[in-house]
């Protein structure tokens, strides 16, 4: 089993189901998952030249989004669309989804001239794939299409909420 933080990150990026199962079961890994999310957020901020204020704001927003995403996926996957063997809680999803953010750390490479677009797209697609694996493992799904469906529903709900919040935040 991959027990170190770095080994867990590498395993998560490699789509190693055993690593996702290990992280899901290890209640002490929530801080590590938060660390992955923060590192990914900071890497993204560096890639897009956010400055110190942007890095801090991005890291805080990344952590809040991760916590809300885990709650949303928990609600959809464990409450609305569970399989018979589904047993999960928010923490299990938070840990696996946190480690699923590992490819985002590579966004820091987008600072290299000429690589920005390709690095961003590769890390987006890679993170989508790791997210599906994380959801499948945390929710004990046998069906990958169900995990994809939960992620898609979650994405649509999250997008709708963000659009609604954006409209509510506009001055009249």
Question: Which of 79, 69, 82 minimizes the C-alpha distance to 146?
Answer: 82
Contact 17, 133 (CB under 8 A): yes
Give the model confidence (pLDDT) of 68-92 as tens digits. Answer: 999 999 999 999 999 999 999 999 9
pLDDT band for position 172 (cuts 50, 70, 90): low
What distance, in Å, lies between the first and last C-alpha atoms of the chain?
55
**Per-residue model confidence as pLDDT tens digits over 93-131:** 999 999 999 999 999 999 999 999 999 999 999 999 999
Give me the percent of the chain exceeding a pLDDT of 90.
Answer: 80
Per-residue confidence (pLDDT) for residue 103, from 0 to 100: 98
Banded pLDDT at 2 (limits 50, 70, 90): low
Q: How many residues does the chain have?
A: 172
- Tens of pLDDT, residues 133-153: 999 999 999 999 999 999 999
> Cα-atom radius of gyration of the chain, to the nearest Å?
16
Answer whether residue 1 shows pLDDT above 70. no
Per-residue pLDDT, 43: 92
What burial letters (b/e) apply to 22-53, b meaning 16+ CB within 10 Å?
Answer: bbbebeebbebbbbbbbbbbbbbbbbbebeee
Give the per-residue pLDDT at 48: 82
Alpha helix (H) residue ranges in the chain: 5-13, 17-25, 30-47, 51-74, 90-100, 116-138, 144-169
Single pTM value for the model: 0.92
């Amino acid at each position: 089993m991959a027990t170190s933080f770095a080994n867990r990150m590498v395993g998560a990026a490699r789509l190693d189901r055993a690593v996702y199962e290990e992280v899901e079961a290890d209640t002490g890994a929530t801080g590590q998952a938060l660390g992955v999310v923060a590192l990914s957020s900071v890497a993204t901020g560096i890639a897009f030249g956010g400055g110190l204020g942007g890095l801090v704001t991005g890291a805080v927003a990344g952590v809040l989004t991760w916590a809300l995403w885990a709650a949303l996926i928990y609600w959809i996957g464990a409450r609305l669309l569970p399989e018979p063997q589904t047993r999960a809680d928010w923490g299990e999803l938070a840990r696996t989804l946190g480690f699923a953010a590992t490819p985002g750390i590579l966004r820091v490479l987008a600072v290299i001239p000429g690589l920005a677009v390709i690095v961003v797209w590769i890390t987006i697609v890679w993170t989508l794939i790791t997210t599906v694996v994380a959801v499948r493992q945390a929710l004990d799904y046998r069906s990958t299409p169900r995990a994809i469906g939960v992620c898609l529903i979650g994405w649509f709900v999250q997008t709708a909420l963000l659009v609604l919040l954006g409209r509510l935040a506009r001055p009249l």
